[in-house]
Amino acid sequence: MKNLRLFLIALTMMNFVLISCTKDENTETTDDENAVVSEVAQTVTQDLYSRTATTDYTETATDLEDYLNGDFCFTFNYPITLLYNNGTQVVVNDDTQLLDVISTMTASLYITGISFPFDVNTATGIQTINNETDFLNLINSCDSDNDGNPNYTDDDDDNDGINDNDEDVNGDGNEFNDDSDGDGIPNCLDEDDDNDGVPTSEEDNDHNGDVSDDDSDNDGTPDYLDTDSDNDGIDDANDNDADGDGEDDEQEDDNDNGGD
């Protein structure tokens, strides 16, 4: 009996240490009776964990906010209360604390629930999530290209023929902070990445099924990111088929077939 009691005490201490390692000094544990197991909370936190659990990049609170907006079309309106798989709860007050909780999850200690109701920030304003159904509807309605696949399950959120991971132009591991045309829409959510009037999906000029390998003027910038694809000094948005050869002027250097 004594050995059993010592074992239980040791197990409790181990759980306490594990929990303590998942929070910074500003987080706090709580006992919120509204915190319940939520499959959607697990989906969201596991998605965020898969993005932050890498040694290649050092994620920031800003990255985390980008991931929430990009994959789920919302950010949390803090504070929120999250539930661990061992029944312990933690109050999260900002993105930095959420990043700390997410990035330190393990196979044996992870988030399984959340306290309802809570508020989120969306493109249309603050929305109150009252229950699991509201939460599920929220993340499933985030479908940038309206193809029936929510962003968090879609490899090509804007359906432009380029995988989202390949639209990380600056190579920092966050494809949601790359906006080549500066229109406020990340490339991975933008149907026209260079804002030249030609949808990215239509800039596969060699028709090989790969938009990213077309560089008509060989300047090192692929056509779908190049506002002057033929380097003739005229923006693609103002180019057309001047010489009637069936090839848009934006893709050729000799727009009038005059040999110059």
Question: Residue 6: what pLDDT?
Answer: 39
* Rounded mean pLDDT, 194-222: 88
- What is the average pLDDT value for the chain, to the nearest integer? 85
Structure token pair of residue 209: 């099924």
144 with 123: CB under 8 angstroms? no
What is the DSSP-derived secondary structure letter of residue 9? H
Question: Residue 53: what pLDDT?
Answer: 87
What SS3 class is residue 76?
strand
The pLDDT confidence band at residue 1, using thresholds 50, 70 and 90, is: very low
* Rounded mean pLDDT, 90-107: 97
Q: 248 or 70, which is more confident?
A: 70
* Rounded mean pLDDT, 7-25: 42
The alpha carbon of residue 48 and the mean position of all alpha carbons in its chain are separated, in whole angstroms, by 9
- What does the radius of gyration of the chain's CA atoms come to, in whole angstroms? 24
96 with 61: CB under 8 angstroms? yes
φ, ψ (nearest 5 deg) of residue 257: 55, 30
Whether the per-residue pLDDT at 23 is higher than 70: the answer is no
Q: Residue 129's closest CA among 173, 96, 80, 163?
A: 80
* CA distances from residue 18 to 15, 61, 94, 96, 259 in whole angstroms, order as listed: 5, 22, 21, 19, 73
* Rounded mean pLDDT, 46-62: 92
The pLDDT confidence band at residue 61, using thresholds 50, 70 and 90, is: very high
Whether the per-residue pLDDT at 4 is higher than 70: the answer is no
Largest CA distance in the chain: 98
3-state SS of the chain: helix, strand, coil percent to 5? 35, 15, 50
**Burial (CB count <10 Å: 0-12, 13-18, 19+), residue 251:** buried
Q: What percent of the chain clears pLDDT 70, i.e. is strictly above it?
A: 81
- The CA-based angle 189-194-214, given to 5 degrees, is 100
Residue 81 β-bridge partners: 91
Name the amino acid, one letter, at 203: E
